[in-house]
Amino acid sequence: MSKKTIVVCDHIHQSGLDILSSDPEIEMINAADEPKDKLVEEIIPLADVAITRSSTDVDEKFLKAAQKMTAIVRAGVGVDNVDIPGASKQGIVVMNVPTANTIAAVELTMAHMLSCVRQFPYAHNNLKLDRVWRRQDWYGTELKDKKLGIIGFGNIGSRVGKRAKAFEMDVVTYDPYIDPSKATDLDIEYTKNFDDILSCDIITIHTPKNQETIGMIGKDEIAKMKDGVILINCARGGLYDEEALLEGLKSGKIAMAGIDVFNKEPATDHPLLDLNNVTVTPHLGANTLESQRNIATQAAENAIAAAKGIAYPNALNLPIKENELPDFVRPYLELIQKMGHLSAQIKRSAVKSIKVTAKGPVSDYVESMGTFATVGVLTESLGDQINYVNAEFVAKERGIEITKEVKPNTSGFTNKVAVKLTTQDGTIEIAGTVFDDSVQRIIEIDDYILDVEPKGTMVFFRNTDTPGVIGSVGHIMAENGLNISDFRLGRDSKQQALAVVRVDGQVTKKVLDELSALDACISVSHATL
């Protein structure tokens, strides 16, 4: 198998480089120190996947050079420097790493909030730089019993809410894209009326930057706020209208503001810096050792998954808006893609139809699951040619029928999803679910009840249910130098059994032939996820 090339365009933490360099199927090119002209002209044409940060513009010139590229991983949250429509036209999937710096951003938000209510930076400078001891100048206020308005209740906003509750604050959130129970289950008020946010003592914003949110807090909104409000922005520059923010701070309508991000950066000459009722930091939301390590690790893992066609976590140009999906849906999308890929490897035959079935609340997203399952199935035959952008078009072009079905949930699981693959050699149906903490499991293969983690190299051995089979299978594996890392067995009512054996090492034709030669063997196949 030829190696896939991943080019690291900008500096990332060593932990990510170690992951990339240790994968035997990956050729890593660390081009972080190369001049950008050389990067684009000489190195990017070699890349199957690129990892970028803010220093590399994924523009028309970059994309023109990226003729082999199937995916781009932005190591961080913001993708302002990535031409997503241009990438989509080339069938290049763009991904980011939206959760790696979550805690860093949450804690910085709380730091700004505390700095504003206690005027900490100014008291610090007065003592340390001016050597003045005047306690009476620095009377602050307390967070306790203040009303906090949170705009956007995703990974960061929800965690800010939890910490604010620990400070005994009264918390209300506005986010039209979440289930209200996500807030109310935390004893946090949910509102559909944006004016409820504007009436709060402190307001913090945690939304993506898009046409809906740019300038979301402007002159009119500030006019509705109570006198002496405190505003925090550790999300993206431009969410607050900076001119309106400046005027509000000058007039005293806004008592304090804590700002980590600016519309144009670096912002060393910004007029906000001249005010004495602003706490500022130079876009430090992700600047912790832990978050940089997490960003690099996740970016590397996602790039490898994309290079191998296994999954495209946090893709931004899919037929769905993943950032608007409930958290519980994402692992089901990844699971159903894995099950599609697994079914295609087991059958290894021309595909006639793909049927996706969903039960439970996750069934609301059955259309998206059809796309993910199709990518999983067709990756086996088309490899790099298939992605989320073109999957269903390619399937239709090849005469593959794709159906999606929602069924009543009588399974005993909260949610259950299944892929039924029909090929020239017959059919196979694989079902799975996701348990708490996003633990993915395959729970059925055809009529066999199992509990299989969908990862690694697996051998599928179907046999008549007679004594000694497990021992014989183990003996063959041992004789061929394959260590068994997991062994799962399912039985049916026809005196047959299915073993799913996960092994460390490569399954050769010799192994499959020896397993097939066993008297009890009905069929044998293998797959790798």
Rounded to whole angstroms, how far apart are CA atoms 123 and 138?
6
> How many CB atoms sit inside 10 A of residue 151's CB?
22
Q: Which two tokens stand for residue 516?
A: 């097939």
Nearest residue to 240 (alpha-carbon basis) of 196, 269, 274, 270: 270
Cα gap 23→506, rounded to integer Å: 15
Residue tagged active-site, from 13, 53, 236, 462: 236
Candidates 272, 199, 268; CA nearest to 242 is 272
Outline where DSSP puts E strands in 206-308: 229-233, 254-259, 278-280
Non-local CB neighbours of 269 within 8 Å, separated by 6+ positions: none
Token pair for 285? 């939301």
**Is the sign of the CA dihedral 101, 317, 320, 299 positive or negative?**
negative
Q: Phi and psi (nearest 5°) for 61?
A: -65, -45
Nearest to 260 by CA among 225, 286, 241: 286
Cis peptide leading into 176, omega within 30 of 0?
A: no
| C-alpha span between 337 and 369 (Å, rounded) | 8
Active site residue 236: yes
Clarify whether 348 is annotated catalytic.
no
- Here the tokens at position 391 are 């999957």
Report how far residue 369's alpha carbon sits from residue 361's, in angstroms, rounded to the nearest whole number: 13
CB 462 within 8 A of CB 498: yes
One-letter amino acid for residue 222 of the chain: I
Residue 243 designated active-site: no
CB 432 within 8 A of CB 367: no
- Catalytic residue, from 13, 74, 283, 462: name it: 283
Q: How many helices and strands (H and E) does the chain possess?
A: 17, 22
Task: Compute the distance between CA of residue 246 and CA of residue 238 in angstroms, rounded to an integer.
Answer: 13
**Active-site choice (243, 265, 324, 401):** 265
Distance CA 311, CA 90 (A): 18
Active-site residue list: 236, 265, 283
